[in-house]
Structure 1
Amino acid sequence: MKTVKYQFVAETIRQRILKGVYKAKSIMPDQNSLASEFNVSRLTVKKALDLLAHEGLIYKQSGLGTIVLGVIPIKAANDSPANAFDGLSQQHTGEKVESKIISFEVHFPNQDLQTKLDIKKDDPVYEIRRLRILNGDPLILEHTFMPVKLVPGLNEDILHKSVYGYLHQQLHLKFGGAYRKIRATLPDKLDIKYLQAQKNDPMLEFEEIVWLNNGENIEYATSRNRYDKRSYTVLDVNDF
């Protein structure tokens, strides 16, 4: 999938931070200077900086500018932001992300799904099971439900690439928020088969309901991964 401008800007700045071009605790160039350098709008620069702030690489302080935090010592390569609204492909730009479709169906929702997605019994939903593979290594087992009326045209070609990329770039949908729950559990048969989990391996299950900026619920999903393959992080910033 084509890299959009803000992702290119973010990746360039990210590499500068990681390589020490922008040193930890230093003040970064202002947004106008970066916009001029990359020949993009300030809005594009802001979006790139928001992404890097979300990753914990920088910190935007009113009155001071953008401070480089550098690499947080406890941060690991398999960390994933628990409050992210981008998909795996966007989180691992430059790496090989693959999707294996286990099942893809359209059906009418049961009472539980009607409640979770706030839809009627005659509103069809997509039910998707995918194995997400990162650099050849099975990483996440996803089980996703989406209302067909909000995501027209979803097909296997899109599922093999990036669903969130399709939502944002093709359908121009914007997320408004999400409620997420993380729990520890034991592996089931699918975890053992697709994630190569052992029967006593702890599993992390990530459950979420995501809604659009107009308040409509667009996704109910669970994703599962082995305890040794992925961890979830939250970056807290005190704005007071």
Structure 2
Amino acid sequence: MYRYREIYSDIKRDILTNHYRAGALLPTQEILTEKYQVSRLTLKKSLNLLSDEGLVYSKQGSGTYVRPRMDSQSTEMLPLDLPVGVTYSHRDQKISSKLIHFNARLPTEIEQKNLQILSNDPVYEIKRVRLINKKVYSFEHSVMPVSIAPIDEKVLSGSVYDYLGSHANLQLTDARRVVYAEPANKETSQVLEVSLDSPIFVIDQIAYDQKGRAFEYSTSRFVSNHNKFVLDVHLNKNN
């Protein structure tokens, strides 16, 4: 990966995880070039990518700012375009997990395709209920290659992404999401505490790290009348 894209991904992650907050001024170019040990030209390419995505904007003589997001103060409207987990999207609330299923096995054909692995590459299969302030929020079914890092039940009681960042130097920077609705089956209805065949909001996600490698294939299910999602659209004027 080109250096400017690595820097772009790093700053983007810091914006999406609220390290750089909406409306805040980014560190100066002098600070950023020193931090990443690159030229101003390389840094400018990174900032241009962020600007094209509508994540930052510049003010003449003032600097580069993180662009405010619509409804950014609403705890009900969750950004659909941010590839981050519950811990980041609800960082000011109490997050807990209830482990439903955890084992290691060989991948299915669709898991091989989405994770870009071989049929004999073992994967973790994880099913968790995520709770916010002790209330059921989502039902997550995740599959990850065993090779990325050793994972146990203690890790799964908290944020897997935080663990991977600190123990495997793995950072979630991009994701492909497919959003749809489906009726709750027996397992989902029991876990989310809803009636059988109730409408469920579903997000399928393939998560990628800073090197562009797929490291997670997951399906998250939400009670339709308990969650709202928002997608901000930014048009690149150069296109």
TM-score normalised per structure 1 = 0.71
Partner of 1:24 in structure 2? none
Q: Distance in 2 between matches of 1:167 and 1:207?
A: 20
For 2:114, give the aligned amino acid.
K
**What's the offset of the Cα at 1:192?**
1.5
Give the count of matched residue pairs. Answer: 204
| Residue from 171, 186, 191 that aligns with 1:189 | 186
- Summarize the Cα distance change of 1:73–1:149 in structure 2 as closer, same or farther, 3 Å threshold: closer
Q: Greater relative contact order: 1 or 2 (C-alpha under 8 angstroms, separation 6 or more)?
A: 2
1:177 aligns with 2:174: yes
Deviations for 1:197-233, whole angstroms, at most 9, x for unmatched residues? 1234311110011222333221111000011122222
- Summarize the Cα distance change of 1:205–1:29 in structure 2 as closer, same or farther, 3 Å threshold: closer
Partner of 2:8 in structure 1? none
Partner of 2:57 in structure 1? 61
Which consecutive segments of 4 or more residues in structure 1 shift more than 3 A? Answer: 9-14, 28-32, 63-76
| Residue from 113, 136, 152 that aligns with 1:138 | 136
Q: Distance in 2 between matches of 1:182 and 1:155?
A: 29
Structure 1: gaps spanning 5 or more residues: 1-5, 18-27, 36-40, 44-49
Partner of 2:146 in structure 1? 148
List aligned pairs for 1:1-240, cutoff 5 A.
10=18, 31-32=27-28, 60-64=56-60, 65=63, 72=70, 76-150=74-148, 152-240=149-237
Question: SS in structure 2 opposite 1:149?
Answer: helix
Q: Is the Cα contact below 8 Å between 2:57 and 2:67 reproduced in 1?
A: no
Question: Superposition RMSD on alpha carbons, in Å?
Answer: 3.3
Q: Distance in 1 between matches of 2:107 and 2:25?
A: 51
**What's the offset of the Cα at 1:121?**
1.4
Q: Distance in 1 between matches of 2:82 and 2:227?
A: 15
TM-score normalised per structure 2 = 0.72
